[in-house]
Structure 1
Amino acid sequence: MLEFSWYLLEASLVLSVLYALYALLLRGETFFGFNRFFLLAIVMISLLAPLLSWDFVPEKEVVVRRPIEQVRNMRQGYFEALGDWYFEAASSEQESERQVHTPIIQQWNWKAISIYSLFTIYLLGVMAVWSRLGWMLYGLYALRKKFPSREVNHVRVVELPDRSAPFSFLQTVFVNKEVIGTPAFYQIMAHEQVHIRQRHSIDLITVQILAAGLWFHPLVWRLLKSLKTTHEYIADKQMISSGHSLVEYQSLLLSQLISNQSYGLVHNFNLSFIKKRITMMKIKQSGWGGRAKVAVTLSLAVIVSITLMQ
């Protein structure tokens, strides 16, 4: 229990640092493909780095090794302090079991109770996130089975009766039946096919599965939103680079601004950050300054990860 609590603390710290690097250095750059994989890596590194312990630095590299050892000693000090508190709680609980005032009522150790209560709440949170994920998957499956569909360019298109914004999930596009066959429909399909080809839905499923381990951390949900935003930037960039008119495409986005509802596992054609998307379409491609930010971000991410694994 003690080791697991420390693991969650360190995983949360790594997530905070790495996402802060993304927000400060990468979010405004046009390296959308790199940003996509960096966001995915943040979750994986946050969960894996605290489990590893490798010695990368030779003993003779004193100048490099000394700061790492100081961090390691600080971590060990916090770990020992937390261990003393935990074992004090456990010892107190055993002592209270021997001090029986009545045949029924015994003394309770509230520290131990709080530890197990928090762990129970944590497990309930994990189960709630996974249950929500399963419910969303079932809802999309039921939606596909309920309404008629057709195949367009090797993609399953589900015809929705209600006037709603188009969206995609895995190999399926969901679109209002009144739009099918219009010029706008083929632009919508081109956009959603980018999500399908690049398997963006797999990204969202993977992050939600892993994010359950850190469900209590608000930044993990900010990261999921950032990942969806990056997916849309990638699709928009592909649309413009493939020859679609910028003005016509932006007009199409605005015309499809029907609702701001965005499901956790799907890519809505008209997510509510429409203004940001239009701005990113016009922004100049990142140059050497952006590449320098990428290099700095990667260097700091490696340093944080290796320091934690010492």
Structure 2
Amino acid sequence: MFVYLLKMIACSGLLYAFYFFLLQKEKMLVFNRFYLLGAVAVSFLIPLTLFRITIETTVLQQPAFVPSGTASSPVTAKHLPFIDWLAVLVYGMILLVSLVLLLRFAYRLWTVKRIIRKQVCQSFYEARIVLSVEDCLPHSFLKYIFLNRAQFERGDIDTAILQHELAHVRQKHSLDILLIELIQIMCWFNPFIWFYKKSIQLNHEFLADHAVVKRTGNTQGYQRLLLKNVYVNNSIPLASSFYFFTTKKRLLMLQLHQSKFAVLKGLLLLPLLGALIGIFSEKVYSQQEVKRFSPPRIVKDLSENDILEYKTIMARDYSKTAKGYKMDKDDYNRAKYLYDHMTAEDAKTVVNFKKAKIFVRPTVIRDARVEQPEHPGATAEEMVEYKKVENSLRVPGKPGSYRGADWAASERAADLYSNKMTEEQRATVRKMPPPPPLPGRDQSAPVPPPPAAPKNGKQLAPPRIVRDKKNRAFTPPKIINDERTRFTPPKIVKDTAK
């Protein structure tokens, strides 16, 4: 906040210096009016301007594996809240002074309103003349022109003076005064705001003088009127007074003509604004990596059984004839998953999977379906369920060996592996053996031979469809070739009706 205030003061000072040295003596009255108001606003906005500057940096890719034991959430130290009492004191003083100035501003507005309500008013073109019984000089505020009642009734007030105050009303100069007053209340510590206020008031007088001369066409007569009424009165708050203390500057401005370099001086404002934005704007530097750095991949530590399982797969599938490894797709995916999730130390103790010569056997089509079809994927809960069953059946120290379990658990695991998991999910687990046979069924019993042909040489008639009492046809069982349970064909009943 303190840096922003310093930048704001510096911007307002440089913009006012540009007006003071280049624009103040030029007869660009309307341009100067809006320049002074705009310069105050711009001095607030330029320090708030934000620019993002991207710096390209070259970063080499260095992927790494970080065990889960070493990867942890960042520890944030607890710090007690720090209170900068000096900043609190400074900002408190600024707010206190601003509050006092705001109360004074409100009181002055209330004073003007009370005068308007108590005095006699009458219309005058777009304005209303307030005839005050108190001794006052001609001045204007908003749409009201304040005059001394006795002087107005005697006709002592010149018509040019009324035209001057009417020009203030028509050009709404009071709005500029109110705006700069509010800014002065908030930024009373900015010394340049006071210079802006005086310059705005002086420019208002230039504009009103120009309007009177343009209407009457008598420049010399108006100058004599100014010399006749040279004195100062500061007792009227928030007013654009005809008798302003800068009469000398007003007389000189009436004699000036617009120079040939006025427009050129106005154009010099553009490079000034560019320089101010470049100096006082807020800049944020961000780095753009030409080669993005691969952050360390946090993986889980593999257990001893997982390492032993990887070694078993590589030893079992090694082919001496091909001097490489011949493995099916499940073993390949499983071994690749285990090797990718090893730490650097564990990877040095096993066969390098990436450098090994591996041949993946083609998928064998058995029965009438393809093994391990692709599925939408098992949910996280189902994967946890499968791993629980796998861990419960695994024989310690013997990778790939499983002990018997209840038929329902094994059947559930087989269903998840074959009908739910995707290829990526299957690679993260070990394929379970088929479930044990159902109780009471002997899988080793041979399949009964087909019935022999009749001795009399007659051909057997096709089996007759037997219907039950409700005349419903018997639906033969659906023949499914299942490796886990041997199917017993239905008994063929000979039709004796014929």
By the TM > 0.5 criterion, same fold? yes
Change (3 A) 1:223 1:288: same
| Partners of 1:10 and 1:50 within 8 A in 2 | yes
- Using the alignment, how far apart are the partners of 2:126 and 2:259 within structure 1? 37
Query: Relative to total residues, which structure has the larger helix share, 1 or 2?
Result: 1
Deviations along 1:130-168, one digit per CA (max 9) or x if unpaired, are: 222212211111111222221122311111223432100
Please name the residue that 2:242 is paired with: 269
Deviations along 1:259-285, one digit per CA (max 9) or x if unpaired, are: 3316452100110111110111012x2
Query: Relative to total residues, which structure has the larger strand share, 1 or 2?
Result: 2
Tell me which of 143, 147, 160 is aligned to 2:132. Answer: 160
Report matched runs for 1:71-150 at 5 Å. 112-150=84-122
Tell me which of 35, 58, 75 is aligned to 1:38. Answer: 35
SS at match of 2:251: helix
Please name the residue that 1:9 is paired with: 6
- Using the alignment, how far apart are the partners of 1:263 and 1:183 within structure 2? 20
Deviations along 1:151-191, one digit per CA (max 9) or x if unpaired, are: 12231111122343210000000011233263744222211
Change (3 A) 1:145 1:201: same
Q: Which has the larger radius of gyration?
A: 2
Q: Give the TM-score taking structure 1 as reference length.
A: 0.76
- Using the alignment, how far apart are the partners of 1:164 and 1:252 within structure 2? 18
Please name the residue that 1:86 is paired with: none
Change (3 A) 1:228 1:150: same
SS at match of 2:147: strand
- Using the alignment, how far apart are the partners of 1:298 and 1:207 within structure 2? 24
Please name the residue that 2:22 is paired with: 25
Q: Cα offset for 1:258? A: 4.7
Q: Cα offset for 1:244? A: 4.0
Greater alpha carbon shift after TM alignment, 194-203 vs 262-271? 262-271
Structure 1, gaps ≥5 residues long: 60-90, 95-108
- Using the alignment, how far apart are the partners of 2:215 and 2:206 within structure 1? 14
- Using the alignment, how far apart are the partners of 2:164 and 2:277 within structure 1? 36
Please name the residue that 1:82 is paired with: none
Q: Cα offset for 1:237? A: 0.9
One-letter amino acid of the structure 2 residue matched with residue 233 of structure 1: F
SS at match of 1:287: coil
Q: Give the TM-score taking structure 2 as reference length.
A: 0.48
| Partners of 1:165 and 1:256 within 8 A in 2 | no
Give yes or no for the alignment of 1:199 onto 2:172: yes
Deviations along 1:238-260, one digit per CA (max 9) or x if unpaired, are: 11112242222223233333533
SS at match of 1:159: strand
Structure 2, gaps ≥5 residues long: 56-78, 284-498
- Using the alignment, how far apart are the partners of 1:178 and 1:306 within structure 2? 59
Greater alpha carbon shift after TM alignment, 194-203 vs 288-297? 288-297
Greater alpha carbon shift after TM alignment, 115-124 vs 223-232? 115-124
Tell me which of 227, 231, 238 is aligned to 2:211. Answer: 238
Q: Cα offset for 1:92? A: 10
One-letter amino acid of the structure 2 residue matched with residue 254 of structure 1: L
Query: How many pairs align?
Result: 259
- Using the alignment, how far apart are the partners of 1:138 and 1:158 within structure 2? 16
Structure with higher RCO (Cα < 8 A, 6+ apart):
1
CA RMSD of aligned residues (A): 2.5
Please name the residue that 1:169 is paired with: 141
- Using the alignment, how far apart are the partners of 2:50 and 2:81 within structure 1? 33
Tell me which of 277, 280, 292 is aligned to 1:305. Answer: 277
Deviations along 1:31-52, one digit per CA (max 9) or x if unpaired, are: 0110000100111111222222
Percent identical among aligned pairs is: 27
Runs of 4+ in 1 over 6 A off after TM superposition: none
- Using the alignment, how far apart are the partners of 1:58 and 1:156 within structure 2? 60
- Using the alignment, how far apart are the partners of 1:167 and 1:18 within structure 2? 30
One-letter amino acid of the structure 1 residue matched with residue 180 of structure 2: V
